[in-house]
A and B are shown apart, each in its own frame.
Chain A
Amino acid sequence: MSPVLLPTAPVRPEPPRSRLSHALASEWTKIRSVQSTLWTLASMFALILGIGLLADLYERGQTPGQPYLDNGLGGFIVGQIPVVTLGVLAVSSEYGTGMIRTTLTAYPRRASLLTAKALVFFGLAFVLGTLATGLQVLGGMVLLSGQGTDPTGGQILLAVLGGGLYLALIGLFALSVGTLLRHSAGALAVMLGLLLLPFILALFMPSGPRDDLLTYSPINMSASLYGDGTGSLGGWPLLGVLAGATAVVLAGAFAALQRRDV
């Protein structure tokens, strides 16, 4: 390649000031231009829809009168894992590759950048998560309506919209952990531990701590969305607890990103 011409004229006399909308557009480009986004979201759909519909199909012709909404629970629990993976990678892959230095050189407003990342991820996870839970519940109604006990409107709303919200929140939690730890494998290990350990540990605890661990374990939070939860809190209030916990970790991520050297 021969030496090339140099640009002589400035791009524009007055460059646009950095704005949040710029970071939002950039983060949207980032998340849609890597294969890992496609694979994690396809896995989420495959697990939530696939396992849910298999359970529905299995229940056809079995004992009539059973509620069938909770057939979606198994797929929903494992379907969180790819969402959490995507959340972690949204930030930690930038640290892993060193891209974060390029990004922050182009956009030094760190809080604004993390806000954009969080918004883009949350929006994507919420829309596609709700679509997945919605299709799964719809599939159950098509396959089992008339045979089993149909869910009420409130139950459907909690499973579909609450399910989408839960997926987006747990993914945002993972994104915050990824920001704090800056390391993909480490952050994923922490997230898997948080998802699975409280429920497992509760089995070996005396009744006091066991009930609390069970109630606030992500597995019970998921189950309560499908009407299968235990404990004093259920459904929307538990989602509120998850939202609160996510807000705390996200605040920690903001503080860490502001303070640390990159």
Chain B
Amino acid sequence: MIEAHGLTKRYGDKTAVDDLSFTVRPGEVTGFLGPNGSGKSTTMRMILGLDAPTSGTVTIAGLPFHRLPNAPCMVGALLDAKAVHGGRSAYHHLLCLAQLAGLPRQRVDAVLELVGLSEVADLRTGEFSLGMGQRLGIAAAMLGDPQVLLFDEPVNGLDPEGIHWVRQLMRGLAAEGRTVFVSSHLMSEMAVTADHLVVIGRGRLLAESSTEEFISRHAAGFARVRTADGADQAKERERLTGVLRAAGGEVLAEADGALRVSGLPLAAISDLAWEEKLRLYELSPHQASLEEAYMQLTQGAVEYRSDRNAPVEDALAEVAA
């Protein structure tokens, strides 16, 4: 369990994290979402006691990080896969971390096996690919078999197989009852991995809810409706549009001739069409993606950036004119 209360971090007059409170529970994967520069990594560093908050607190199992009796046996973290000494072998990198926690050498062999790096254990980490580096970072996080795991952008630079592997690993860890906190800017990845979401923008909490609830609240679902093919198709489409709008639906024409309807349940659309004696060749439900929900929610942060670029764009326009 990770609990943040009023977590704030200021650098001079710039506020990186602003009064952030959230809870990360055991037994599920919690996604930590936000645009670049929104304060995700700063928050991660404060959780791990690397950066001191300007105000507010964050605890793991009720204790601030530096008070944990043996941090690696309670918390495992992957912050930056490239943060290793490239001249040291994978084995020795993990060994020095295991020794810090007073763990036996067998744990090093065990985590190397876990991430599939046993055969390259004696290779210097500087020769590792990005994917191997991520696996090494995950191995380091797993050394103490911790109950709480933090991953900062763990699938960055991984190939599809690696992404699948990390996803399975995180789901598996959560299924074992562990607390898994994963930051990402890849919405599609979080949609299939995270049970719960903490979304931030410009250092502030924007939403904290289950993934499903987040999607349904921040992006409406819609139906795709297509009238029967034939000479009258265009006319029938117009008639249907009129009826649906009269019933309170929002109707948009799609490029392929179908209609995109929101605000009406599928059954109501079907009933209205039947009353009009219109045959439908398609009536399909569509779930708004997490990506759309996220874009909608974080629009503020994005617009903020556009505004800041505006003077540059104006200047460019002037030059062009």
Considering only CB atoms, which chain B residue lies closest to A100 in the complex? B83
Q: Mark A25-36, 1 if CB is under 8 A from B, else 0.
A: 111011001111
Is A10's CB under 8 angstroms from B71's CB?
Answer: no
Given the contacts A7-B110, A10-B145, A98-B82, A108 and B49 also touching, CB distance less than 8 Å: yes
Q: Which of A1, A25, A94, A104 contacts B165 (CB 8 A)?
A: A1
Once A6-B173, A8-B176 are accepted as A-B contacts, the answer to whether A19 and B102 lie under 8 Å apart by CB is yes
A193 interface residue, CB < 8 Å from B? no
Across the interface, A22 reaches (CB within 8 A) one of B52, B77, B99, namely B99
Q: Is the CB of B79 within 8 A of A102?
A: yes
Q: Does B254 have its Cβ within 8 Å of any Cβ on chain A?
A: no
Per-residue CB contact flags for chain B residues 81-116 toward chain A (1 = under 8 Å, else 0) read: 011111111001001110111110001001001111
Contact status A261-B45, CB under 8 Å = yes
Cα–Cα, bound, A6→B116 (Å)? 12
Residues in A neighbouring B110, C-beta threshold 8 A: 7
Q: How far is the CA of A257 from the CA of B177 in the complex (A)?
A: 35
| Number of A residues with CB within 8 Å of any CB on chain B | 43
Residues of A within 8 A of B82 (CB): 97-98
Measured CA separation A105–B173 after assembly (Å): 20
Which residues on A sit within 8 Å (CB–CB) of B176?
Answer: 6, 8
Among B87, B101, B115, B165, point to the contact of A16 (Cβ < 8 A).
B101
Question: Does residue B31 face the partner (Cβ distance < 8 Å to A)?
Answer: no
Q: Are B116 and A97 in contact (CB under 8 A)?
A: no
Asked whether any CB of chain B lies closer than 8 Å to the CB of A199, the reply is no
- Chain B residues positioned under 8 Å from A97 (CB to CB): 82-86
Check if B247 is an interface residue, CB within 8 A of chain A. no
- Cross-chain contact B102 with A16 (CB below 8 angstroms): yes
- CA gap between A107 and B74 in the complex, in Å: 12
Whether A18 lies near B69 (C-beta < 8 A) is yes
A15 within 8 A of B: yes
Residues of B within 8 A of A11 (CB): 73, 103, 107, 144-145
A4 at the interface (CB under 8 A from B): yes
Q: Is the CB of B100 within 8 A of A34?
A: no
Could you tell me if B116 and A1 are in contact, using CB atoms closer than 8 angstroms? yes
Q: Are B101 and A15 in contact (CB under 8 A)?
A: yes
Is there a chain A Cβ closer than 8 Å to B19's Cβ? no
CA of A85 to CA of B164 in the docked complex: distance in angstroms?
44
A107 with B100: CB separation less than 8 A: yes
For B89, the chain A residues whose CB sits under 8 A away are 33
Contact code string B161-177 (vs A, CB < 8 Å = 1, else 0): 10011001100110010
In the bound complex, CA of A262 to CA of B164 (Å)? 32
A4 closest partner in B (C-beta): B114
A142 beta carbon closer than 8 Å to chain B: no
Contact B96–A33 (Cβ < 8 Å): yes
Let me know if A18 and B71 touch, CB within 8 A.
Answer: yes
Q: Is B68 an interface residue (CB 8 A)?
A: yes
A26 close to B96 (CB less than 8 A): yes
Write out the residue numbers on chain A whose beta carbons fall within 8 Å of the beta carbon of B74: 15
CB distance from B97 to the nearest CB of A (A): 5
Instruction: Kindly state whether residue A230 has any CB partner on chain B within 8 Å.
Output: no
Query: What 0/1 readout, one digit per residue, does chain A (158-188) give for beta carbons within 8 Å of chain B?
Result: 0000000000000000000000000000000
Task: Evaluate contact between A29 and B99: CB separation under 8 angstroms.
Answer: yes
**Interface-centre pick from B89, B96, B97, B140 (highest chain A CB count, 10 A):** B96
Question: A3 to B165, Cβ gap below 8 A?
Answer: yes
Q: How far is the CB of B151 from chain A (nearest CB, A)?
A: 13
Contact with A along B50-86 (1 / 0, CB 8 A): 1110000000000001101111111101011011111
In chain A, positions 72-97 with a C-beta closer than 8 Å to chain B are 93-94, 97
The complex places the Cα of A2 from the Cα of B98 at a distance, in Å, of 25
Whether the pair B116, A93 counts as a contact (CB closer than 8 A) is: no
- Also in contact, A102 and B84, with CB within 8 A (given A11-B107, A19-B102): yes
Contact A15 B50 (CB under 8 A): no
Q: Is B259 an interface residue (CB 8 A)?
A: no
Which residues of A10-53 are within 8 A (CB) of B?
10-11, 15-19, 21-23, 25-27, 29-30, 33-36
User: Given A15-B69, A101-B79, list of 10 further CB < 8 A pairs?
Assistant: A1-B161, A4-B116, A6-B176, A7-B142, A16-B102, A93-B85, A101-B50, A102-B79, A108-B49, A261-B52
Query: 27 interchain pairs (CB within 8 A)?
Result: A3-B164, A3-B165, A4-B116, A6-B176, A7-B110, A10-B145, A11-B107, A15-B144, A17-B102, A18-B70, A25-B99, A29-B99, A30-B96, A33-B96, A97-B86, A98-B80, A98-B83, A99-B84, A103-B100, A106-B71, A106-B72, A106-B140, A106-B143, A107-B72, A261-B45, A261-B50, A261-B52
In order of increasing CB-CB distance, the 9 nearest A-B pairs are A98-B83, A15-B73, A33-B92, A16-B102, A26-B99, A1-B116, A261-B51, A108-B66, A29-B96
